[in-house]
Amino acid sequence: LSTSLNRNIARDFAEPAKYLSDETSAIFSMNIDSHNCKCPFIVVGNLGFYQTLEQEVLFSMGTVFLIENVKKTSTDQWEVQLTLTDNTVDNLAHYTAKVRKQIHSSHLLISLVKLMDEMGQYKMIDVFADIFAEDDIIHQHPERLAEMQHAMGTAYLSAGNKNKALEFLENSLTTYLKFVPADYSSPSPTYNNIGSVYLSKKNHKKALEYQQKALDCQLKASDPNLNSIATYSMNMGTIHESLGQYNEALVHLQRSLQLQKQYLGEDDPALSLTYDVIARICYEKQEFERAGMPRLEMRKIFPWIAFVF
């Protein structure tokens, strides 16, 4: 990112990229109130050979801009109007903490794969696969090996490469089952993701089989995770629904709803999705009075949400 106080210089930098088919150039017009700014910045106009000409500005790490407007100028150039703000620092810190928790792992390479998946940088998956193949340290530790195989499989699943995803996830499961005791819940996310691969392949029978294994793994665990049990129950319910097996679907969805109430609270907006799926299934069964009950319950709890009956 190159910055300048001179708009013409910024336009000269951005102009050539307009004619590249695989790139989109943009000028960021930054509005900065220097009297109300916690993040330091400096104009380095007197430093370097070209700086006097470019009048460049350097911003410190963690500087946050609010997008005010995006428009296309008369010269067919995209321009994004930004305002330097400190209001979103707390939100950024919250998001950073959330991502840090999501990508936490026992090895840096595993965390990088998870971060790549979170950012959607799927062009790097094969590169990480090559690095992983040559990393002897990870292969010497079964727990790390299973964790890495799971992370790679999950990333390939996100990228839409079903065959590679299934290969890594099945290898992860094989590794887990060599050392994990029967009452451990560690393999449950791998069972779940294998089920997701089969679902994407329209193999509902296999998808249900592995979702059930994921659920059983949690139910038999000495430290069951209510969130995971609710998620796997929801997954099984939606698969049964797609197969027209409405009674089976309702059993799983009702379990998911009860668990969600326990760990989220009865007034959490996340429950609205489960209520809605239950109502939809009752409608498909032509149990219209019963179909209205979940949505009436939602209206009591979430009066600000609009529902279509």
pLDDT of residue 47: 62
Q: Are residues 212 and 108 in the same domain?
A: yes
- 309 exposed, middle or buried (CB, 10 Å; 0-12, 13-18, 19+)? exposed
How many domains are there within the chain?
Answer: 3
59 lies in a domain?
yes
Q: Are residues 167 and 195 in the same domain?
A: yes
Q: Are residues 110 and 141 in the same domain?
A: yes
Q: Are residues 99 and 79 in the same domain?
A: no
- 67 exposed, middle or buried (CB, 10 Å; 0-12, 13-18, 19+)? exposed
Whether pTM exceeds 0.75: no
Residue 139 has pLDDT above 60, yes or no: yes
295 lies in a domain?
yes
Query: What is the rounded average pLDDT of the residues 74-93?
Result: 77
The tens digit of pLDDT for each residue in 44-67 reads 766 655 555 667 887 777 678 888
Q: Are residues 143 and 186 in the same domain?
A: yes
- To 5 degrees, how large is the angle CA 39–CA 42–CA 44? 160
Task: Say if strands 26-31 and 78-84 run parallel, antiparallel, or are unpaired.
Answer: parallel
229 lies in a domain?
no
pLDDT of residue 20: 65
Token pair of 209 as six digits: 């089989």
